[in-house]
Structure 1
């Protein structure tokens, strides 16, 4: 009802901005959120400081939206040739490239101010690395078949930042968690890239889905297995209990289910397998949350 009170042109513009920032598709924010929560809960040995929880929750949503804006800016000349992305606001001309860059800068600045005002110096220094990774990732698919690796680093950088904010330092355990998340991101984003592989091959876009070819599912399975193994090491070093390992078991079961969904390499099946990773990350968080309470 409130939106109907706005002029039609303004409603349309706000809708286009919301689509550009993927506010209607929170999956990316959730995939970024769960590992950030893993780090906060592990660094705190339980419920983290409420200030850090608020800052990093807001930061996740702000930086994911900023990343979407700069991603569509980088892909503005190719998205129109890809079935899944041809109707995006930038590709279809409903939003100008300068607007996307401006939105990226505004959102990144707000996230940066949260770090400056509410965290410590180490977290502030680390935030510059996160900003660089968020900016350069979208351009990597033109230069390397491993853009998913850069996305993994960008999506995992919140882990050392959250750990530094909560503990005042970055332990070896934080980097183990970082490694697990990079591997996980490469696995699920390869599933995502398999959705567009036919179009990417036609227009020359690089990805791990293109690089892996027919070995895609086998390599994804190997990466998923490594994710579980590294998270077992995390649990062992942090002396976590049965609930955490039950969460890992749920993640492993969901990985098997994702392999089933993607077995024919069809667009819909691969996309459903990608989306299912939200539940894998959530399962680990629930196990960790319950374990640290017990």
Structure 2
């Protein structure tokens, strides 16, 4: 696996791959890799000739007081995992390479970027859109792979790709969970044993809603109350949002029809976790 630190070198490598007609799948990450990330790599490898990944803890998507400094960084282990999964090129720049002195341009997706996580974390989705646009520009992949767990991010990126005419396919991949249902997240490492047990209520609440939909309940107001009732059984958590929304616009919907997004975010102690499912 080739590890690249500079934008100029990364652009040159990716330009050469495209010139050769090699289909590139791209998986951008912030490192601290887990099986969820590796599932994206595996999907990309099954659909593309070459897999390119990135590791960059993007300061632009962290608000003041958030966990940028504490975010887990496990670069050597990440490299071992990526290489074992067959990644050909890893882009691992530092912040001064991505945002040189004087860089002021950002990308904002109004409306969508202000909902769900965008409402809870002002500026977060602008930071995501900006760094992903830069990565798309320099890698120019044929397909880019993201996890469904970050549903608000997916909605923003879909709109950005459409509006800015990026010539690539965005591929959404299923959430990967531990055996007890907890959605995998790099931030799970922050949880104590007790907090990890408390965090399972997010999945329980979503499962209750999903079961109610399967039994015929479709009214969002009723389904949200069912979810809230479950969340209220747990101690040590603070709910950020529980929402039933259109998966593309992130606007609330009155009924939970096929393809609608049911999403939750909550603080478990000081750790903010998210989870969701799409109505089948």
Higher helix residue share: 1
* Bigger RCO of structures 1 and 2 (CA < 8 A, at least 6 apart): 1
**TM-score, structure 1 normalization:** 0.28
Higher strand residue share: 2
**TM-score, structure 2 normalization:** 0.29
